[in-house]
Amino acid sequence: MKIGILSSGGDCPGINATIRGVGKTAIMHYGMEVIGIHNGFSGILKKDTEEFTERSLSGILNLGGTILGTSREKAFRKLIKKDVDGQASIIKQNYEELSLDCIVCIGGNGTQKTANLLSEIGLNIIGVPKTIDNDVWGTDVSFGFNTAVNIATDSIDRLHSTASSHKRVMVVEVMGHKAGWIALHAGMAGGADVILLPELGYDIEKVNEAILDRAHRGKPYSIVVIAEGLQTPDGRRPADYITSAIEEGTGIETRETVLGYTQRGGSPSPFDRNLATRLGGHATELIANKQFGRMVCMKGDHVDSIPLSEVAGKLKIVTPDNELILQGRRMGITFGR
């Protein structure tokens, strides 16, 4: 068999570990041919590929980013769905001309949605979930999340000393457009006093009350962790709005820190390296067994797979009954309400 591998969407620690897991399993165990497709789905249209060997896949386990390059092409899904100018036909033709038996698509929600559309037009596809946001539906965890939480937690740890020394409120904005998994896990692990998530909303008056209550109890500083997808009444960036609102409402000096892309850059954590390796290896097993149109996933500590059609268009979000939220409330952590 001959398989292709591509990565799409934002970069993420663990993509190269996944490429290695898929490719080495395919070459060493199953004797398959493996090619890399450059720059996401655009590489299919351009037939921009390279041949992988066991040697070329060595030394990439600990590398951040993706050796294949990536791109965000939202228009690509529309082209496939509407078949504008016969794009779907070109994709299918190139797939056949490259003599591919399957394409492994590594990416987040948008990638899995596109992967499902490719599957629907007749291509053999396997999806591998990739996102630091941990919001891909159907898997308990995605590689990249653990690394991002580690980086965010370390940053929060470092801000405690500054907040304490200056008796300030420190507002830390972490990634998470629609899902607050990083904010929740890093906030809890970093000992935050207030954690604000897009899913739960917030009342700024309640936030200020919690901070003033801490000050009255002899705790003149607070750590506030927020997700970047938090809504603000004036459309400002969450960190900017929350920082201003807290300082105005409490009279306590408040500063913001936006972690940004540092959370998804650099080497993957050992946990993410092993997770990516397991997911990549299972993707190759599915190909060998000709179980196409599926996305590999984690269920507890078990590697499994589900139909791509079940994943497309769905989002895994934090719910109010999450155990970390329930435990946090018991300890006096404020979640905005």
Q: How many CB atoms lie within 10 A of CB 131?
A: 27
Q: Is 240 tagged catalytic? A: no
102-107 and 169-174 strand pairing: unpaired
Do 117 and 77 touch, CB atoms closer than 8 A? yes
Angle among Cα 180, 157, 12 to the nearest 5 degrees reads 50
Do 155 and 323 touch, CB atoms closer than 8 A? no
Q: What separation, in Å, do the N-terminal and C-terminal C-alpha atoms of the chain show?
A: 55
Helical packing angle, 270-288 and 145-166, nearest 10°: 160
Do 231 and 180 touch, CB atoms closer than 8 A? no
Do 282 and 303 touch, CB atoms closer than 8 A? yes
What contacts 24+ positions apart, CB below 8 Å, involve 269-275?
A: 269/13, 269/146, 269/147, 269/150, 271/146, 271/147, 272/13, 272/14, 272/17, 272/143, 272/144, 272/145, 272/146, 272/147, 273/14, 273/17, 273/61, 273/62, 275/14, 275/141, 275/143, 275/146
User: Exactly one of 133, 135, 193, 272 is catalytic; which is it?
Assistant: 133
* Rg (alpha carbons) of the chain, rounded to whole number: 22
Give me the amino acid identity at 261.
Y
Supply the DSSP symbol for 122. Answer: T
Supply the DSSP symbol for 267. Answer: P
294-299 and 194-196 strand pairing: unpaired
The residues assigned a catalytic role are 133
